[in-house]
Amino acid sequence: MTTSPTGADAVDPAVREELDRLRKSIDNIDAAVVHLLAERFSRTQQVGHLKARHRLPPADPAREARQIERLRALAEDAELDPAFAEKFLTFIIAEVIRHHERIAETGGTGTTPSGT
């Protein structure tokens, strides 16, 4: 096997292969996560509508606190930074709130935030 550089792409083929392998794996994981998030938002939409229909308070800070604690513990087990896991959940919940605000704006069932 030759390692001679070809033009701009002067990378050892074995290294390039290893990089491609890792990137393929990263792409697979990203696809899985995107599909899981689609599923998650479908569930939170259902929660939003359920709460609106039954006049339950849209936000539930106690539920949110429990979610954060649980995710931090899971992250620790998985050797993921617990602070990042918390940041991640906050990021997702912000999107859930955005969805529910949109439901409220477009009439729908007249609900507001949350559905966590």
Between 84 and 109, name the residue whose CB sits nearer to its own copies: 84
Residue 65 near its own copies by CB under 8 A: no
- How many residues bind its own copies (CB under 8 A)? The answer is 48
Residue 109 to residue 104: CA distance in whole angstroms: 7
Classify burial at 87, counting beta carbons within 10 Å of its beta carbon; exposed 0-12, middle 13-18, buried 19 or more.
exposed
Between 75 and 103, name the residue whose CB sits nearer to its own copies: 75
Q: Of 116, 111, 110, nearest to 60 (Cα)?
A: 116
Query: Which parts of 97-116 interact with its own copies (CB under 8 A)?
Result: 116
Site track for its own copies across 66-85, x = CB under 8 A? -x--xx--xx--xxx---xx
Round the CA-based radius of gyration of the chain to a whole number and report it: 21
Q: Of 91, 106, 11, nearest to 52 (Cα)?
A: 106
Residue from 13, 26, 65, 109 in contact with its own copies (CB under 8 A): 26
3-state class (DSSP) for residue 6: strand
Residues near its own copies (CB under 8 A) are: 11-12, 15, 18-19, 22-23, 25-27, 29-44, 46-47, 50-51, 54, 56, 63, 67, 70-71, 74-75, 78-80, 84-85, 88-89, 91, 95, 116
